[in-house]
Amino acid sequence: MKEKLQRRKSLDRRRLEEAFLLYAVLKVHFAYDLNVDHIDHDRNVLVQKVTETFRERFLEKWSGHRCKVKGCGSIIVLDGNMKNARTVCSCNNVGEIIFDRIGSVLIGCPNTPGKGIRYCPSHEGLARKYVDDKNAMENEGGKGSSTDEDLMIIKILSNKLTRQGNFCEVEWCNGVTSWIKESNLPPNLRGLKVKNVVKVVDVVEFGKKLRFLVKDENYEKNNNTKKMQNNGFGIADKEDDMVEEGCLAFQWPCGIVISIAEMFNCESKSQVYGYLHEIMQEDNMSTVRTICYDDACHLLRYAQNPKRLNLTDTSKRIGGTTIVVDKFHFRNHVDEWCKKHCNPYKCTDLDEVNHFI
């Protein structure tokens, strides 16, 4: 028996992961009658197919949770966490999170970067740190200027051959144009003439409507140049230099989590407000009277800005809801406006309520 066990091949870890994921999905599917028409055995296809359904049912179930704990159903607590983060593609200003009826928020790429590089496959070979070589083009011995912002080149506008070399006028994903020496172009763009090199795609991931600029594979077919291999451009020198994506949690004072959303790069008020607006549209959230958040002063000002206050009935309601800082973080808020409008000690709804995440 011992010899048979020794000769037996080890189970591939990936097969075990796939089997457990399939088991977990089927268990939830039958327990909550999710009406998923097909359960795929491929884990990537499976996750993409069931995520939105699972998220909708999760939000419906736990936003409607009510218990005897004080504040449950009337006080919502939210907080962001950028410490438990995942590394994402460093390319900025290439995407939008679309929030229904209130607009969109400009973000970078949320995809996982390739091994040893800063960018994902959709942006590798088209992105680099912003550079303007106009001074080097016009003056012999001149030097170009650059920034630390990683951007994607979306279009080659024109080409110019000078004594200093061949230069291309390019448009970046943030709308800025600049001249760049051909040797400084990302690998996949060298040798191209005037050309659009990206396309727009719309996707839905984890309940979020997203729009991205990605590599248009057809542009390579329309040019006589060969696809160049990655020459090592974009390899990060420091791990801390990589862009990260954290999370934003919504919960009741009893500890029940209502929803979790991903935050790109930072805990921006535009993203926080967008997800808050999305949550507050739920019928089960009509009983919420108080919102508790560690940066309530900025969120309240953002919510009461006339530009967005009257966009929807939900935005009007958020603007009129009590938004206060939690007592743990309030000690660090010294601004007089914050003390006057976001003081948790003036909010009687928080008396004897657990409002910390």
- Record the tokens describing residue 35, joined without a space: 């009406």
3-class SS at 89? coil
Please give the pLDDT value at position 52: 83
Alpha carbon of 180 to those of 149, 163, 294, 314: distances in Å? 15, 14, 44, 47
Please give the pLDDT value at position 286: 95
- Of residues 312, 286, 351, the one with CA closest to residue 99: 312
pLDDT (tens, 9 = 90+) of the chain, 357 residues, equals 777 767 777 777 778 888 898 899 889 888 888 877 777 777 778 887 888 888 888 999 999 999 999 999 999 999 998 877 788 899 999 999 999 889 899 998 888 888 888 899 889 888 999 999 999 898 877 788 888 899 999 999 999 998 888 999 999 999 999 999 999 999 888 887 777 888 898 987 766 788 988 888 775 444 433 322 222 222 233 344 556 778 999 999 999 999 999 888 888 899 999 999 999 999 999 999 999 999 999 999 999 999 999 999 999 999 999 999 999 999 999 999 999 999 999 999 999 998 876
Please give the pLDDT value at position 237: 34
Q: What is residue 10's DSSP assignment?
A: P
Q: Helices (H), strands (E): how many in the chain?
A: 11, 14
Would you say 193 and 225 are in contact if contact means Cβ atoms under 8 Å apart? no
Cα separation, 354 vs 316, whole angstroms: 27
**Element housing 207 (H / E):** none
- Of residues 122, 63, 48, 56, the one with CA closest to residue 88: 122
Cα separation, 351 vs 357, whole angstroms: 16
Cα separation, 349 vs 72, whole angstroms: 11
> b/e string for 257-292 if b means 16 or more Cβ within 10 A?
ebbebbbbbebbbbbbbbbbbbbbbbebbeebebbb
Please give the pLDDT value at position 252: 96
**Element housing 176 (H / E):** none
For 130-169, give the DSSP string.
Answer: EEE-HHHHHSTT---EEEEEEEEEEEEEEEEEETTEEEEE
CA 157 to chain centroid, in Å, comes to 30
Sign of the four-CA dihedral 18, 20, 21, 25: positive
Please give the pLDDT value at position 138: 86
Q: Which residue has the tokens 């993203």?
A: 271
Contacts of 164 (CB under 8 A, 6+ apart): 136, 137, 140, 181
Q: Which fold has domain 64-86+243-356?
A: Nucleotidyltransferase; domain 5 (3.30.420)
Q: Which amino acid is at 165?
A: G
Alpha carbon of 45 to those of 39, 48, 68, 72, 120: distances in Å? 9, 5, 40, 37, 19
Would you say 79 and 328 are in contact if contact means Cβ atoms under 8 Å apart? no
Domain definitions of the chain by residue range: 1-59, 64-86+243-356, 89-138+147-240
Please give the pLDDT value at position 49: 80
